[in-house]
Structure 1
Amino acid sequence: MAHQQYQSCIDACDACAAACNHCATACLSESNVSQMAECIRQDMDCSDVCRVASAVMARGSRNIKDICGLCASLCEACAAECDNHQHEHCKQCADACRSCAKECRAMA
């Protein structure tokens, strides 16, 4: 099965997407929501691309390298944005993003 060779990256993408979704939702509950807008946007973009990357790897698409390269870039940007905030959900998201970026860079 095509996905077995990509399993660690698929797992990292899935974990990152979940962390980003959690972070975006938690940011919406912060008292300073307007200051969290960019974090929320980055979370949503990152989560969406992580899900796409996971799917293309699972089916062995010929576009894996390009999509994983994009995913790594968005994960790095999301981690950098989350690092601007002291909330625990942002710290956890940044960690997940860095882990995913590392896995995706290896694919790209």
Structure 2
Amino acid sequence: MREHKEFIQKLADCASACQYCADQCLNEDDIAMMVDCIRTDRDCADSCIQAINFVSRQSQHVREAIEFCQKLCKECGDECAQHKMDHCQACAKACRACEEACESYLNIHA
């Protein structure tokens, strides 16, 4: 159960970083440049929350949820890493950590 708590915390940290990044992107001078980042942040946050729910209730579809979350964490991490703003860099870091946590979870629960 401990690995679930740690994994859920990584998912929650990523969701939080993504929500914060999306919100901060709305305050950037060139918001049009940030549209893809905002959308990717929101998608990633939603997938992390969904994964938390699936893991918590031991859904029969947890593997698919985690695989999808891992995919979106990679996409979001890649997108945010392109931007120099602190909130984007912090989000990219959280996404990378979550992506790795998803990989570990999938390997353990193969």
* TM-score bucket (shorter structure): over 0.9
TM-score normalised by the chain length of structure 2? 0.92
| Cα drift, residue 5 of structure 1 | 4.0
Of 6, 21, 31, the residue aligned with 1:33 is 31
Gaps of 5+ in 2: none
List aligned pairs for 1:91-102, cutoff 5 A.
91-102=89-100
CA RMSD, 1 decimal: 1.0
Q: Which residue of 2 aligns with 1:72?
A: 70
Q: Which has the higher contact order (CA 8 A, sep 6+)?
A: 1
TM-score normalised by the chain length of structure 1? 0.94
| Cα drift, residue 4 of structure 1 | 4.1
Q: Which residue of 1 aligns with 2:56?
A: 58
Aligned equivalents of 1:54, 1:4: Cα separation in 2: 14
Q: Which residue of 2 aligns with 1:23?
A: 21
Q: Is the partner of 1:85 in helix, strand or coil?
A: coil
Deviations 1:16-60 (A, max 9, x none): 000000000000000010000000000000000000001111111
